[in-house]
Amino acid sequence: MTTESRVAPVALIGPAPRLRLLPVAATVYVLAWLVGLATGPSGPGISAPGATVHAYYAGHPGAVLAQALLVHGIAGLALAVVAMSLPGSTTGPLRRSARAAGLTAAFLSLFQATVSAAATHGARSTAPSQSLAYFHAINMTDFVKLIALAAFVSTTTALVAGPGRLSAFLKTVGRFLLILLPLGGSSFLFPNPVCEAALDLSLVLLLCWTAALGACVRSRQRLTLVLGGC
C-alpha cells in the first residue's frame, strides 16, 4: 500500500505569504542545480584515488567552490524554505514528517558546502590523503541526504497532491524517486554502473518533481489556499 492510498485527501490551509515562498524557493532550487551543473567542472569518479581527487581540488578550487555553493549551499537554503513553507493542514504528523525530512536534507546539503569550502581552501598545499578524506565525507553525506530526500518527496507528495494532472505527475515521479534516490545513494557505498545510473536519473527526476511541486502550489494560490488537488 502506498503512502498516497493510506492518507486520505485533506484540505491544506496555509498563510498566503508563506505559500508564496514555496514556488519561488522551488524555482531557486532547480536553477541552482542547473547552473551549478552547467558551469562547474566535472568531478572525479566515486572510486577515484587520492591523487586524482587532489588534482581536482587543486586544479580549479574557485570553480569547484562556486559549484558547491550553488548545488549544496543555495540549493540547501532553498530546500529549507520549501520545507518550512509547506502548507498547514489537519494532517499535522504528516506535515511535521515532511518538514523534518526536508530540513534534514537541507542541513546535510549545507554541511557538504562547508566541507567543499574546506577542501578547496589552500588545496594546492593539502596532502592528497586529506583531499580524499574531504571527498569521501561529501559523498557519505550525500548518501544520507538522498535517503532524507526520498522521505521528503514521499511525505510532501502525500501532503500536497490531489486530483489533477500536476498532482498525478508528482505522484508518479515520487514513486520512482522513493526507489531511485536510496538506490543511487548506495553507489557511494558500493560503486557500480547500475547504482550510478540510478543516481544520475534520480537527480533529473528530483529537479522535475521540485519544479512540478512549485507549479502545483502556484496554481492554487489565493488568500486562503486549499490544496485539495492541483
Q: What is the chain's pLDDT, residue by residue, as a tens digit (230 residues)?
A: 444 444 443 344 454 556 688 999 999 999 999 999 999 888 899 999 999 999 999 999 999 999 999 999 999 999 999 999 987 654 578 889 999 999 999 999 999 999 999 999 988 888 999 999 999 999 999 999 999 999 999 999 988 876 678 788 999 999 999 999 999 999 999 999 999 999 999 999 999 999 999 988 887 654 344 444 45
Using the 8-state DSSP alphabet, how is residue 47 labeled?
T
pLDDT of residue 2: 44
- Judge whether 77 and 110 are in contact, CB under 8 Å: yes
Could you give the CA distance from residue 115 to residue 156 in angstroms, rounded to a whole number? 28
Could you give the CA distance from residue 52 to residue 179 in angstroms, rounded to a whole number? 31
* Closest listed residue to residue 144, CA positions, set 107, 115, 113, 170: 107
pLDDT of residue 18: 65
Could you give the CA distance from residue 81 to residue 45 in angstroms, rounded to a whole number? 31
On whether the pTM is more than 0.85, the answer is yes
Q: How do residues 206-216 score in pLDDT, each as one tens digit?
A: 999 999 999 88
Could you give the CA distance from residue 34 to residue 69 in angstroms, rounded to a whole number? 13
* Closest listed residue to residue 95, CA positions, set 206, 170, 11: 11
For the four alpha carbons of 70, 76, 78 and 79, in that order, the dihedral sign comes to positive
End-to-end CA distance of the chain, in Å? Answer: 23
pLDDT of residue 94: 87
pLDDT of residue 89: 55
Could you give the CA distance from residue 199 to residue 187 in angstroms, rounded to a whole number? 8
Buried residues in 51-88 as b, exposed as e (16+ CB within 10 A): ebbbbbbbebbeebbbbbbbbbbbbbbbbbbbbebbbe
Angle (CA) 101-117-214 rounded to 5° is 35
Phi-psi region of 60 (alpha: psi -120 to 50; beta: other; left: phi over 0): beta
pLDDT of residue 211: 95
Q: Which three cell numbers stand for residue 132?
A: 580524499
